């Protein structure tokens, strides 16, 4: 496994091919869109998805905790698929989560799926977290104007970016990081989280000067560039 | 010969018609209360034969209420038939009400139909399933006298057919007295269709009425002027000839095999169309309105020709079509005959059709098909067991209709032929899945959709569940599609999402008969503008090409093997075969010829299997795996309908071992579980079974990022509960539907001890078409990741390292000047292409 370094707001960050971010200077692991208990949320709505998603997501996260040994975790929101998700955690998963978080500082950034702090779990909840030059929030703030200077850097989730790289055997689609020098959008980490094409105006619009995409691979990341977003006049009908 | 009762006899006489024997036979069967299957070529007055007994009965004893239910695979066909029936009913002033009920029927008319059903109701399998899920289905169907299933050959053996068979089994309970009539085009084996129709699932009780002959079709092969192409499947070299034939006929249908081919042929014809003949395009990805417009113009006699795919295979009577041209090999005899039958919808006149092979192998295949037609031999697939996903949907629908006892429903379901062999374990597991997901980890009990009462009867939880089911009924699962919309203009149709995902702004592609320039994604559609520069691509659709039938393959092998039959072939093809005999040998009838030769610094292995492209694709995967283990360093392979070609870094020796039967063991299992085919199967099954939803009550449009990714569910389920019923259903369908694995097994068994290895110095004549074929598969050690790495390094290469991705990444991302077009010009664009992109097709024809 080789993580890739990236500079954001002057800070050196590591992009892990598993789809998480490590900030060595602060011993912080950042993970976006866990969507825990998405399976049971669907089951409640009449779609019996296999009830193993939380187990799967947590076991992947546990692996990364062993890899990076962070002192702090920032979950960038939508950590649970809905506001009652935490209360539906099956006892073994609840126990596993407590075990994993023991001795760690846990920061739950609130997202649109989980606007309230998860009940009965350790950690602090906040709408956004500021640390040094970086701000961590669920959904990126659109640029105020094309030329407005942004100090520092922003790290966010929400959009579940994915991208397709053309290869000689056709396009291969993977979840991806999207970044320019001041903004970084993380891919979704949850086992059942699909993706939104990074060319979609909702994502591309955040990067008016284009962006670099880092597609997740088994052992490493694969990089490609993304075109600058089209002129606003062309994209009147993007999703809200 | 029997006679028709009045007023029918007089009505026939007035029009100068004599009742046909099969029409009378169906009448007699009906009077005896017997079910019957009518097998007749197109133009035999089949539909009237099917309805005649019901009309006679209703004329004799008029009564209100539903008398006859007619089910057709096409909405348009139901509407068309309703119109055709209304004429005689009005002429004879019969007290009969005829109505259709399809997805297009407005809500108020449906409600009225439920309260006051017409005498004849014309519908589709999906609308029937909906009707049967209603609480009042019992009263609605109680008086039913007959069920007519049209185009039954096109339904049996498909998931829509499974759904219909289950619906028929339920009708057998609600209206045990109703006789059944099946209408089928000519098929090789009518018995499975009789079983499909039968109320018991056995063929015995259904009388078979077969209409032979009619005039034999008048078929000919047309070759392009000039050189006969070695490869390619589009047939564009023959378009001048096709155009001349369109000019010479009144109305022509030009049938092609794929939508991509339809687009290309359509463009080629219009480039030649100096007389501005009205030539239209018809395929399944165009919008419904557009297709209806073409159909209407066709019916009104306003068109000279239509280029069409299988979307025009069924049904509607165009009347005046006097010529059918099949471009590309027909791939199956029954399919060819059905297409040919679209010309001259009158039985006593011969249908005229021209076969236009696209390359040399296709010439042989067309010749084989012609021979088969001459000998009146047909091919067809054996019946396969019904899908468990369809059963899941049906079980929930039945619970919505009324509480049931599992024992009774199990017995009822097994009366449907596709489910005659259903095990109780599978039934119970499917029921368990519908109830609460059926997972070993029983965490969803509080969400259960079905519950059982003290007597063991199964009830549906509430109306919400019923509504959810009705919104998602049906077994047609589309691959994810994106609308193609002209900027500031209308939607032109739909293209598979993955195709759009390979485009960058500025790329052009051919769709709906025009060249379009891709501009942007707007979330729900791909925005395009007209025109554009550069070589356009053609969207192709996964799985749209039919593989060669086993049966036709055998005939091709026979022609190759027997030089006496070569006189049927045009001279260039004969020369080609002679050359092959001299330089290598002809593929034997039973053994397996394998050639190896060096070329361009690599070693090629070509196996003449003749088992169809799908089988060869699977075989290629297995053989190259074994080549890898043997240390030959396989680099890639390619599957055509006729051969498998693989290339490697080192000379393959002992090739017999590569084709041993045990490659179907572990390697196959391993490959299957990971294969995209299995994933695709799972997605369809999960959707039909109700795990993924097409529609959700109260949520008409979901945000795009909400769409659930079936692959992720597949991975999680496979890891945590590999024996779950949905995975069992997936494997069953893949193995059963995957007749190509069976075909590989038979091939390897047949070839055992009879493998002939020819070591050649250079490429053999028969191998040439394969080597210039498109659609190569690459063998990469780490598969996808290796491809990604390669694509990335290609970008580095062409941009002289400006796009370098390495440890210096951080510097690159910090204030990098991004030149997007750099990424769009990597060399892979110029390389041989992935099979689903058909670029440069016209060029490849001349590349011999």
Kindly state the average pLDDT of the residues B522-547.
71
A168 touches chain B (CB under 8 A): yes
**Among chain B residues, CA nearest to A17:** B785
* CA–CA gap between residue A138 and residue A120 (Å, rounded): 21
pLDDT of residue B625: 80
For the stretch B263-293, pLDDT in tens is 889 999 999 999 999 999 988 778 878 888 8
Distance of CA B604 to the CA centre of its chain: 33
Q: Which H or E run contains B799?
A: none
Predicted confidence band at B624 (pLDDT cuts at 50, 70, 90)? confident
Interchain CB distance below 8 Å, A43 and B438? no
Residue B638 lies in a domain: no
Lowest mean pLDDT among B56-60, B151-155, B812-816: B812-816
Interface of A with B in 99-158 (CB under 8 A): none
Q: Are residues B99 and B205 in the same domain?
A: yes
DSSP letter for each residue of B53-105: HHHHHHHHS--SS--EEEE-S-HHHHHHHHHHHHHHHHHTT----EEEESTTS
Q: Are residues B117 and B171 in the same domain?
A: yes
Residue A216 lies in a domain: yes
Q: Which of A5, A6, A210 is facing B818, going by the closest CB pair?
A: A210
Q: Are residues B62 and B116 in the same domain?
A: yes
Positive/negative CA dihedral, B759, B765, B766, B767 = positive
Residues of chain A found within 8 Å of residue B810, distances taken between Cβ atoms: 5-7, 12
Residue A238 lies in a domain: no
Lowest mean pLDDT among B194-208, B251-265, B585-599, B615-629: B615-629
State how far residue A122 is from chain B, nearest Cα, in angstroms: 24
For the stretch A163-172, pLDDT in tens is 988 765 567 7
Predicted confidence band at B479 (pLDDT cuts at 50, 70, 90)? low
A205 touches chain B (CB under 8 A): no
Q: Which of B472, B503, B522 is the last residue of a domain?
A: B472
Q: Which of B210, B239, B267 is the last residue of a domain?
A: B210
Predicted confidence band at B314 (pLDDT cuts at 50, 70, 90)? low
Which residue from A200, A87, A236, A163 is spatially nearest to B502, judged by alpha carbons? Answer: A163
Predicted confidence band at A149 (pLDDT cuts at 50, 70, 90)? low
pLDDT of residue B434 exceeding 90, the answer is yes
Interchain CB distance below 8 Å, A191 and B828? no
For residues A207 and A166, the answer to whether their CB atoms sit within 8 Å is: no
For the stretch B13-24, pLDDT in tens is 998 888 989 999
The domain that holds B142 is classified in CATH as: 3.40.50.300
pLDDT of residue B297: 86
The domain that holds A146 is classified in CATH as: 3.60.21
Q: Which of A7, A47, A192 should be substituted to probe chain B, the one whose Cβ sees the most B Cβ atoms within 10 Å?
A: A47
Residues of chain A found within 8 Å of residue B818, distances taken between Cβ atoms: 209-212, 225-228
**Among chain B residues, CA nearest to A194:** B709
Residue B25 lies in a domain: yes
B707 or B618, which is more confident? B618
Q: Which of A174, A181, A192 is facing B814, going by the closest CB pair?
A: A181
For the stretch B145-156, pLDDT in tens is 999 999 898 889
For residues A74 and A30, the answer to whether their CB atoms sit within 8 Å is: yes
pLDDT of residue B844: 31
pLDDT of residue B670: 65
Beta bridge mates, A212: A179, A225
Q: Which of B181, B210, B239 is the last residue of a domain?
A: B210
* DSSP tag of B461: -
Interchain CB distance below 8 Å, A48 and B433? yes
Residues of chain A found within 8 Å of residue B519, distances taken between Cβ atoms: 230, 234
* CA–CA gap between residue B509 and residue B264 (Å, rounded): 11
Q: Which of B796, B818, B826 should be substituted to probe chain A, the one whose Cβ sees the most A Cβ atoms within 10 Å?
A: B818
Q: Which of A159, A165, A179 is facing B791, going by the closest CB pair?
A: A165
For the stretch B184-211, pLDDT in tens is 987 878 899 999 999 998 888 899 999 8
Q: Are residues B196 and B96 in the same domain?
A: yes
A173 touches chain B (CB under 8 A): yes
pLDDT of residue B762: 85
Q: Are residues B35 and B103 in the same domain?
A: yes
Q: Which of A44, A50, A173 is facing B721, going by the closest CB pair?
A: A50
Q: Which of B444, B708, B809 is facing A51, going by the closest CB pair?
A: B444
Interface of A with B in 33-62 (CB under 8 A): 40, 42-53, 55-56
Q: Which of A56, A167, A171, A197 should be substituted to probe chain B, the one whose Cβ sees the most B Cβ atoms within 10 Å?
A: A167
B698-721 in b/e form (b: 16+ CB < 10 A) is eeeeeebbeebbbebbbbbbbebb
* CA–CA gap between residue B100 and residue A35 (Å, rounded): 46
Interchain CB distance below 8 Å, A46 and B815? no
B812 or B694, which is more confident? B694
Interchain CB distance below 8 Å, B813 and A179? yes
Interchain CB distance below 8 Å, A194 and B721? no
User: If you average pLDDT over every residue of chain B, what do you get?
Assistant: 81
Residue B323 lies in a domain: no
**Among chain A residues, CA nearest to B832:** A168
pLDDT of residue B164 exceeding 60, the answer is yes
Residues of chain B found within 8 Å of residue A195, distances taken between Cβ atoms: 705, 709
State how far residue A213 is from chain B, nearest Cα, in angstroms: 10
For the stretch B548-574, pLDDT in tens is 777 788 888 889 988 898 988 988 899
Q: Is B52 helix (H, G, I), strand (E, B) or coil?
A: helix
B791 or B295, which is more confident? B295
Q: Are residues B432 and B493 in the same domain?
A: no
Q: Which of A45, A50, A173 is facing B716, going by the closest CB pair?
A: A50
B161 or B734, which is more confident? B161
**Among chain A residues, CA nearest to B838:** A170
For the stretch B289-298, pLDDT in tens is 888 888 888 8
pLDDT of residue A37 exceeding 80, the answer is yes
Interchain CB distance below 8 Å, B816 and A181? yes
Structure tokens at A142: 């659109």
Of all residues in chain B, what percent carry a pLDDT higher than 70? 82
Residue A9 lies in a domain: yes
For the stretch A172-192, pLDDT in tens is 789 999 999 889 999 999 999
**Among chain B residues, CA nearest to A209:** B818
B740 or B640, which is more confident? B640
Q: Which H or E run contains B499?
A: helix B497-501
For the stretch B322-367, pLDDT in tens is 889 999 888 888 888 878 877 765 656 777 889 999 888 889 999 9
Of the CA atoms within 13 Å of residue B349, those in its CB half-sphere come to 13
Lowest mean pLDDT among B205-219, B284-298, B306-320, B582-596: B306-320
Of the CA atoms within 13 Å of residue A26, those in its CB half-sphere come to 19
Interchain CB distance below 8 Å, B822 and A225? yes
Predicted confidence band at A127 (pLDDT cuts at 50, 70, 90)? very high
* Cβ partners under 8 Å of residue B569, min gap 6: B363, B364, B367, B559, B577
Which residue from B616, B617, B624, B622 is spatially nearest to B646, judged by alpha carbons? Answer: B624
Positive/negative CA dihedral, B495, B497, B498, B501 = positive
State how far residue B690 is from chain A, nearest Cα, in angstroms: 7
Structural domain total, chain B: 4
pLDDT of residue B736: 60
Predicted confidence band at B401 (pLDDT cuts at 50, 70, 90)? very high
Question: Residue B327, Cβ neighbours under 10 Å: how many?
Answer: 27
For residues A76 and A34, the answer to whether their CB atoms sit within 8 Å is: no
Residue B115 lies in a domain: yes
ipTM confidence score: 0.85
Predicted confidence band at B806 (pLDDT cuts at 50, 70, 90)? very low
Kindly state the average pLDDT of the residues A25-46.
94
State how beta strands B179-184 and A196-197 pair: unpaired
Residues of chain A found within 8 Å of residue B436, distances taken between Cβ atoms: 48
Residues of chain B found within 8 Å of residue A45, distances taken between Cβ atoms: 696
A192 touches chain B (CB under 8 A): yes
Interchain CB distance below 8 Å, A239 and B704? yes
Kindly state the average pLDDT of the residues B426-430.
97
State how far residue A165 is from chain B, nearest Cα, in angstroms: 7
Interchain CB distance below 8 Å, B468 and A46? yes
**Among chain B residues, CA nearest to A54:** B716
pLDDT of residue B385 exceeding 60, the answer is yes
B463 or B638, which is more confident? B463
A79 or B753, which is more confident? A79
Kindly state the average pLDDT of the residues B40-48.
78
Kindly state the average pLDDT of the residues A58-78.
96
pLDDT of residue B836: 33
Q: Are residues B423 and B447 in the same domain?
A: yes
Interchain CB distance below 8 Å, B437 and A51? yes
pLDDT of residue A230: 53
Lowest mean pLDDT among B273-287, B305-319, B432-446, B648-662: B305-319
Residue A67 lies in a domain: yes
Kindly state the average pLDDT of the residues B385-412.
96
Predicted confidence band at A237 (pLDDT cuts at 50, 70, 90)? very low
Lowest mean pLDDT among B229-233, B293-297, B666-670, B735-739: B735-739
Q: Which of B443, B803, B805 is facing A90, going by the closest CB pair?
A: B443
pLDDT of residue B620 exceeding 90, the answer is no
Q: Which of A3, A34, A207, A223 should be substituted to probe chain B, the one whose Cβ sees the most B Cβ atoms within 10 Å?
A: A223
pLDDT of residue B666: 66
pLDDT of residue B813: 27
| Domain extent for B150 | 8-210
Q: Are residues B176 and B101 in the same domain?
A: yes
* DSSP tag of B317: -
Interchain CB distance below 8 Å, B705 and A40? no
pLDDT of residue B352: 81
**Among chain A residues, CA nearest to B503:** A166
Q: Which of A51, A172, A238 is facing B443, going by the closest CB pair?
A: A51
For residues B77 and B151, the answer to whether their CB atoms sit within 8 Å is: yes
Lowest mean pLDDT among A113-127, B128-142, B711-725, B806-820: B806-820
* CA–CA gap between residue A229 and residue A235 (Å, rounded): 9
Residue B343 lies in a domain: no
Residue A52 lies in a domain: yes
Q: Are residues B399 and B503 in the same domain?
A: no
Lowest mean pLDDT among A13-17, A222-226, B65-69, B382-386: B382-386
Q: Are residues B15 and B103 in the same domain?
A: yes
Interface of A with B in 67-96 (CB under 8 A): 90
Q: Are residues B496 and B451 in the same domain?
A: no
Classify burial at A145, counting beta carbons within 10 Å of its beta carbon; exposed 0-12, middle 13-18, buried 19 or more.
Answer: exposed
Classify burial at B98, counting beta carbons within 10 Å of its beta carbon; exposed 0-12, middle 13-18, buried 19 or more.
Answer: buried
Structural domain total, chain A: 1
A217 touches chain B (CB under 8 A): yes
For residues B68 and B238, the answer to whether their CB atoms sit within 8 Å is: no
Lowest mean pLDDT among A211-220, A222-231, B41-50, B437-446: A222-231
**Among chain A residues, CA nearest to B833:** A168
Positive/negative CA dihedral, B839, B840, B842, B848 = negative
Q: Are residues B496 and B447 in the same domain?
A: no
| Domain extent for A176 | 4-232
For residues B195 and B187, the answer to whether their CB atoms sit within 8 Å is: no
Residue B215 lies in a domain: no
Tell me the count of A-B CB pairs closer than 8 A: 210
Lowest mean pLDDT among A146-160, B321-335, B424-438, B638-652: A146-160
């Amino acid at each position: 496994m080789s993580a890739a370094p990236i500079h954001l707001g002057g800070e050196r960050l590591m992009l892990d091919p598993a789809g998480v971010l490590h900030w060595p200077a602060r011993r912080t692991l950042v993970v976006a869109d866990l969507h825990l208990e998405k399976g049971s949320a669907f089951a409640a709505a009449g779609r019996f998805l296999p009830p193993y998603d939380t187990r799967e997501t947590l076991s992947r996260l546990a692996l990364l905790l062993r890899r990076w040994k962070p002192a702090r975790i920032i979950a960038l929101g939508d950590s649970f698929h809905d506001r009652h998700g935490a209360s539906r955690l099956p006892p073994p998963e609840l126990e596993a989560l407590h075990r994993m978080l023991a001795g760690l500082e846990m920061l739950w950034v609130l997202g649109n799926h989980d606007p309230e702090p998860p009940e009965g779990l350790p950690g602090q909840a906040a709408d956004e977290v500021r640390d040094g030059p970086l701000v961590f929030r669920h959904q990126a703030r659109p640029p105020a104007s094309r030329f407005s200077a942004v100090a520092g850097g922003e790290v966010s989730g929400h959009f579940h970016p994915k991208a397709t790289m053309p290869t000689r055997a056709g396009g291969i689609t993977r979840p991806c990081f999207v970044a320019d020098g001041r903004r970084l959008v993380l891919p979704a980490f949850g086992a059942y989280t699909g993706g939104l094409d990074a060319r979609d105006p909702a994502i591309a619009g955040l990067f008016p000067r284009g962006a670099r995409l880092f597609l997740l691979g088994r052992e490493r990341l694969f990089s490609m560039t993304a075109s600058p977003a089209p002129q606003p006049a062309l994209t009147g009908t993007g999703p809200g | 010969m029997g006679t028709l009762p009045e007023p029918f006899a007089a009505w026939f006489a007035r029009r100068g018609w004599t009742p046909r024997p099969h029409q009378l036979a169906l009448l007699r069967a009906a009077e005896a209360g017997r079910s019957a299957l009518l097998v007749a070529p197109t133009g035999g007055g089949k539909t009237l034969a099917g309805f005649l007994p019901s009309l006679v009965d209703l004329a004799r004893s008029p009564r209100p209420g539903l008398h006859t239910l007619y089910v057709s695979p096409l909405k348009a066909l139901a509407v068309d038939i309703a119109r055709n029936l209304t004429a005689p009913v009005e002429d004879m002033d019969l007290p009969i009400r005829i109505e259709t009920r399809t997805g297009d029927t407005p809500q108020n008319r449906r409600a009225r139909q439920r309260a006051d059903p017409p005498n004849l109701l014309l519908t589709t399998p999906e609308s029937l399933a909906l009707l049967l899920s209603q609480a009042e289905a019992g009263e609605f169907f109680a008086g039913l006298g007959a069920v007519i299933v049209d185009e039954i050959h096109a339904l049996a053996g498909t998931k829509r057919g499974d759904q219909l068979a289950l619906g028929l089994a339920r009708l057998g309970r609600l209206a045990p007295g109703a006789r059944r009539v099946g209408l089928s085009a000519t098929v090789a084996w009518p018995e499975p269709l009789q079983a499909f129709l039968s109320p018991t699932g056995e063929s015995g009780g259904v009388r078979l009425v077969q209409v032979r002959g009619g005039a034999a079709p008048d078929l000919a092969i047309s070759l392009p002027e000039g050189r006969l192409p070695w490869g390619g499947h589009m047939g564009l070299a023959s378009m001048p000839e096709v155009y001349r034939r369109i000019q010479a006929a009144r109305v022509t249908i030009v049938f092609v095999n794929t939508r991509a081919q339809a687009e290309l042929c359509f463009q080629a014809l219009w480039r030649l169309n100096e007389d501005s003949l009205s030539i239209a395009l018809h395929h399944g990805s165009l919008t419904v309105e557009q297709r209806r417009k073409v159909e209407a113009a066709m019916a009104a006699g306003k068109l000279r020709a239509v280029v069409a795919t299988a979307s025009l295979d069924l049904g509607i009577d165009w009347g005046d079509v006097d010529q059918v041209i099949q471009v590309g090999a027909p791939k199956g005899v029954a399919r060819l005959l059905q297409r040919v039958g679209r010309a001259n919808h009158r039985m006593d006149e011969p249908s005229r059709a021209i076969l236009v092979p696209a390359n040399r192998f296709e010439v042989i295949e067309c010749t084989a098909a012609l021979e088969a037609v001459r000998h009146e031999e047909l091919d067809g697939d054996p019946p396969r067991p019904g899908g468990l996903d369809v059963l899941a949907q049906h079980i929930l629908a039945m619970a919505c209709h009324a509480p049931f006892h599992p024992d009774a429903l199990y017995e009822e379901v097994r009366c449907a032929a596709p489910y005659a062999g259903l095990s109780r374990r599978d039934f119970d597991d499917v029921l368990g899945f519908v109830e609460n997901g059926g997972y070993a980890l029983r965490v969803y009990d509080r969400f259960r959709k079905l519950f059982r009462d003290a007597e063991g009867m199964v009830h549906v939880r509430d109306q919400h569940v019923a509504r959810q089911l009705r919104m998602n009924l049906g077994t047609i699962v589309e691959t994810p599609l994106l609308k193609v919309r002209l900027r500031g203009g209308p939607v032109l149709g739909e293209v598979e999402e993955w195709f759009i995902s390979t485009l960058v702004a500025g790329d052009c592609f051919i769709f709906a008969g025009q060249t379009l320039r891709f501009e942007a994604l707007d979330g729900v559609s791909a925005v395009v503008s007209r025109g554009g520069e550069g070589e356009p691509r053609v969207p192709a659709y996964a799985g749209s090409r039919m593989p060669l039938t086993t049966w036709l393959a055998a005939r091709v092998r026979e022609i190759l093997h027997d030089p006496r039959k070569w006189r049927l072939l045009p001279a260039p093809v004969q020369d080609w075969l002679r050359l092959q005999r001299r330089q290598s040998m002809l593929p034997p009838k039973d053994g397996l010829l394998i050639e190896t030769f060096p070329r361009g610094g690599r070693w090629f292995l070509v196996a003449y299997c003749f088992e169809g492209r799908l089988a060869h694709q699977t075989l290629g995967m297995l053989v190259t795996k074994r080549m890898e283990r043997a240390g030959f360093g396989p680099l890639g392979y390619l599957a055509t309908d006729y051969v498998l070609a693989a290339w490697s870094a080192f000379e393959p020796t002992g090739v017999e071992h590569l084709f041993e039967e045990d490659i179907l063991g572990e390697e196959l299992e391993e490959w299957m579980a990971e294969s995209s085919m299995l994933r695709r199967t799972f997605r369809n099954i999960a959707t039909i079974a109700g795990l993924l939803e097409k529609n959700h009550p109260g949520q008409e449009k979901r945000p795009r990022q909400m769409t659930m990714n079936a692959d992720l569910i597949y991975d999680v389920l496979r890891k945590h509960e590999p024996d779950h019923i949905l995975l069992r259903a997936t494997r069953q369908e893949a193995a059963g539907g995957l007749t190509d694995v069976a075909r590989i097994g038979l091939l390897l068994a047949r070839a055992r001890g009879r493998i002939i290895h020819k070591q050649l110095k250079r490429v053999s004549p028969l191998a040439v078409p394969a080597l210039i074929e498109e659609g190569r598969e690459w063998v990469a050690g780490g598969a996808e990741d290796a491809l990604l790495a390669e694509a990335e390094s290609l970008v580095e290469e062409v941009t002289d390292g400006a796009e370098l991705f390495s440890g210096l990444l951080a510097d690159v991302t910090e204030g990098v000047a991004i030149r997007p077009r750099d990424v769009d010009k990597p060399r892979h664009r110029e390389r041989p292409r992935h099979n689903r992109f058909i670029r440069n097709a016209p060029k490849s024809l001349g590349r011999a």
